Structure 1
Amino acid sequence: MSLKVPKANNLQLFKEGYKHLQGLEDAVLRNIQAVNELSDLVRTSFGPNGRNKLIINHLGRLFVTSDAATIIREVEVVHPAAKLLVMASQAQESEMGDATNMVIILAGELLKKSENLLVMGLHPSEVIKGYQLACIKALAELESEFLSHHLQLFESLSTALKPAIASKQYGCEDMLSSLVAEAALAVMPKNPKNFNVDNVRVVKIMGGSLAGSKVVQGMVFGREPEGIIKKVSNAKVVVFTSALDVAQTETKGTVLLKSAEEMLNFTHGEEKHLEKIFKEIADSGVKVIIAGSSIGELALHYLNRFNIAVLKVLSKFELRRVARVVNATPLARMGAPTPEEAGYVD
């Protein structure tokens, strides 16, 4: 009779070098160790005096940053317990836009304390129950520690913004917090919970410095208008998503011209058609056209002729924002807008 050593089930499903852990000593404590390693990785980058990290991602790109959200996004985390912490940090970034590093450090510290309790002999369910009671107590204490509920006031909003800005732009937090508070109050709804962060944008202009930053009511574009009209005020606006040009077929065509007269009249019909369209637009009171695509030379000629300013915005996201700012409906067809479709600019 021969002895046979039993093998673990489903060995062929795992890669070479895998480990099988079970019980308190192996599985739980190893999970805590993995989370602590991730917490220690970003701990030194916390706060305004945090150190930068040199990161090379899987594509070979180089990053030098102290931002925990960027570090977590570019580092490949494989361990499932640490992956949960990465997901929690990403949720914090998506919901609040700040304190991603604090989430990881706090979770790491809580698990460090729980590790000592588990080694002493407490059951994991008892530790979890204790943390749940502590969470209820902490939330109750936070209600008495708030600075101000009046987010509609400039001073309260500026004070609340300073810690978040200081961690990214240390030394400039006073100036930047005032600018951000001013911009946020300009678009703040009656219920601050419905605040849309997309209503505040940052535009970088070459040749300036941080000290030259200011808040602009409206939108700023990094290019000039296409035509000769450079400045318009108190005007009706129309937004087109299509090209301002003569419609052309996708296939090539052949035209047979038998005389010089036919050659002269070849583009005459297109010119008349475009002139009619832009005359109707001008007669409707429109003084500004925002185009989401190309602008033909002939179209630009008639726009200058009818004293209509034209601005080209190639980004569809910027086009949506400017349509929302001027309260206009983006049109896919070229023609005079209805009163409901046109917008207005000061």
Structure 2
Amino acid sequence: MALRVPKSNSIQLFKDGYKVSSGIDEAVLRNIEAVSELSDTVRTSFGPNGRNKLIINHLSKLFVTSDAATILREIEVVHPAAKLLVMASQAQESEMGDSTNLVLILAGELLKKAEHLLIMGLHPSEIIQGYELASVKALAELENLTAHTVPSPPTLESLTVALKPAIASKQYGTEDILSSLVAEAALIVMPPNPANFNVDNVRVVKILGGNLSSSRVVRGMVFGRETEGIVKNLEKAKVAVFTCGIDIAQTETKGTVLLKNADQLLNFSTGEEKHMENILKEIADSGVKMIIAGAGVGELALHYLDRLNIAVLKVLSKFDLRRLCRVVGATPLARLGAPTAEEAGFVDVMETTEIGSDRVTVLRQEKGETTKTATIVLRGATINLLDDLERAVDDGVNVIKALVKDGRMVPGAGATELELARRVETYGSGLRGLNQHAVRRYATALEVVVNTLGENAGLETSEVVSRLYARHADGGASWGVDIEGENDGTLDATVAQIFDSMAAKSWAIRLATEAAVAVLRVDSIIMSKQAGGPKIPQQASGQDWDED
């Protein structure tokens, strides 16, 4: 007779306050539900017809955008499984700068399909194996779908064509103007070896007023303010950069000065003035014709600088100051004094021009690969519009960075995903074993791009997908969704010149699969009690933003 040991129900493994969820129902399916909710949130913002989200962050700053990277950065996702998707999307943003929304919606759709398989009784390991097989097959087939290649070195026309779809997904209707601006700015700073293209050399300055058609590209670095003194234009000038203020030195502690007569008062202020004059004269004697100040400029100092015919520009952003040092080749100095030959920089042209009703200062270098800078001056009616235009420009510049390394492009408008879905489905049908179900579900999940583009454009998605499958079966691998719906909701992406970067697409598929697999591998969630500390003040319930 076997010995039966009674089980105790009072074993406490963790401290009080721990929460433990485990098993298919409590952990896996709940994780999938959370991820699906996040995916559905950003899904409506996908593509040219994507809707904007109005986000008010913890600092009460307002964002109106359809850019998934910005949405995820400003909303505070707390669910651990959803955070895995956020991290995958951030990896795509840092690597490629584009297709962040594709990672989210594809990973979300993969997990929705996995949910059906789990309910049917498949083990998560079989689903993971099937998804990994399908991902390898999809990436291998992606290599065979090249429809266009950006030449090296790129031309203005080839870059404009390549940028239009990426910018249209953020700013539909303005892609022609923005893509030509970004392409022009990129070519100004393009080094002899395009692979060394630096995205930081393309800057954006936003000036309120006017409209987008007034935007233009300026060679050099543009600052939205004019110089402080009377000198407004310079050529071939030596530059000194100071991070400190240019003013009479102040003591760190309070002091008392006892003055007994008028002469002492006069001599006291005269001594300070003489000291300031001597310092600025030393700077002028070293050949410096322009000073960049990282802090305030005193009136007395400005008076002497004007007498010495030295231009002064105030740059309060330390990031802009750092970029400016790279452009002029100067070392930022923390003390006021004459710079050495190694510390001083040089600028070919400094000029003050008028854009709209605003006066701006332009610093330009005529030669030199590393010091070349181009600035896109954006005009618009509201700050939110300008911010969104800037995000579209940043995406465009990042697309160029990816294309100069790998110029291959695949058909856009959902054509590539649908062709991959068709080929992965065929591959899955030939497999044996339970993982074939996961491979075929993976193929169905790839249709989410076509479905989302159709839904956001207001098309009948089931009919459009059926027509596209018929086109692709006849060998039309480049047929995608016509978001304008002028014909039957389909168009040839190659003829319409709608292309996506193959590298960005490849990274998105890889990262979405990895994120979905990472969520499926989790079978328990163990959450500790939150650390103590002051409570975060809660927002008053029922607060209406319209009443503020």
Q: Which amino acid aligns with 1:237?
A: V
Give 1:87 deviation, angstroms.
Answer: 1.7
SS at match of 2:217: coil
Aligned length: 341
- Taking the aligned partners of 1:222 and 1:8, their CA distance within structure 2 comes to 67
Q: Secondary structure of 1:39's partner?
A: helix
Shift of 1:311: 0.9
Higher strand share: 2
Once the 2 structures are TM-superposed, how far is the Cα of residue 25 of structure 1 from its aligned partner?
4.8
- Assess if the C-alpha contact under 8 Å between 1:240 and 1:330 holds in 2: yes
Q: Unaligned regions of 5+ residues in structure 2, if any?
A: 1-5, 349-548
Q: Is the 1:43–1:101 contact (alpha carbons within 8 Å) kept by the matching residues of 2?
A: yes
| Aligned residue number for residue 250 of structure 2 | 248
Q: CA distance change for structure 1 residues 279 and 80 in 2, over 3 Å: closer, same or farther?
A: closer
Correspondences of 1:319-334 after superposition (within 5 Å): 319-334=321-336
| CA spacing shift, 1:20–1:261, aligned 2, 3 Å | closer
Partner residue, 1:210: 212
On the 8 A contact 1:290/1:313 being kept in 2, the answer is yes
Q: 1:255 Cα deviation (Å)?
A: 2.4
Partner of 1:71: 71
Counterpart pick for 1:170 among 146, 151, 172: 172
Give the letter aligned to residue 198 of structure 1: D
Looking at structure 1, the residues matched to 56 and 35 of structure 2 have their Cα atoms a distance apart, in angstroms, of 21
- Deviation (angstroms), 1:50: 1.3
Is the 8 Å Cα contact of residues 48 and 169 (structure 2) preserved in structure 1? Answer: yes
- Equivalent residue number for residue 13 of structure 1: 16
Specify whether residues 140 and 190 from structure 1 end up closer, same or farther in structure 2 by C-alpha distance, changes over 3 A only. farther
**Equivalent residue for 2:153?**
152
How many angstroms apart in 2 are the aligned matches of 1:33 and 1:284?
68
Query: Residue 229 of structure 2: SS of its match in structure 1?
Result: coil
Query: TM-score when scaled to structure 2?
Result: 0.57
Say which SS state the counterpart of residue 287 (structure 1) adopts.
strand
1:34-65 Cα distance to aligned partner (Å, 9 max, x none): 32222222212211111233445566666543
1:143 alignment partner, SS class: helix
Describe the shift of the 1:124–1:342 C-alpha distance in structure 2 as closer, same or farther (beyond 3 A). Answer: same
Matched, 1:269 2:271: yes
Structure 1 residue 80 corresponds to structure 2 residue 83: no
Tell me how far apart the structure 2 counterparts of residues 32 and 121 of structure 1 sit (CA, whole Å).
16
TM-aligned CA distance change 1:136 to 1:151, over 3 Å: farther
Cα distance in 2 between the residues matched to 1:343 and 1:61: 38
Q: Does 1:135 align with 2:138?
A: no
CA distance in 2, matches of 1:168, 1:35: 24
DSSP 3-state at the match of 1:77: coil
Q: Is this contact kept in 2: 1:151–1:157, CA < 8 A?
A: no
Query: Where does the alignment leave 5 or more consecutive residues of structure 1 unmatched?
Result: none
C-alpha distance in structure 2 between counterparts of 1:246 and 1:59, whole Å? 37
Q: Does 1:182 align with 2:184?
A: yes
In structure 2, what is the equivalent of residue 223 of structure 1? 225
Aligned counterparts of 2:34 and 2:171: Cα–Cα separation in 1: 31
Deviation of the 1:107 alpha carbon: 0.6
Matched AA of 1:29: L
Shift in CA distance, 129/305, structure 1 to aligned 2, threshold 3 Å: same
Identity %: 72
Alpha-carbon spacing, 1:327–1:59, altered in 2? closer, same or farther (3 Å): closer
The structure, 1 or 2, with the larger RCO (C-alpha pairs under 8 Å, 6+ apart) is: 2
- Residues 297-336 of structure 1 mapped to structure 2, 5 A cutoff: 297-336=299-338
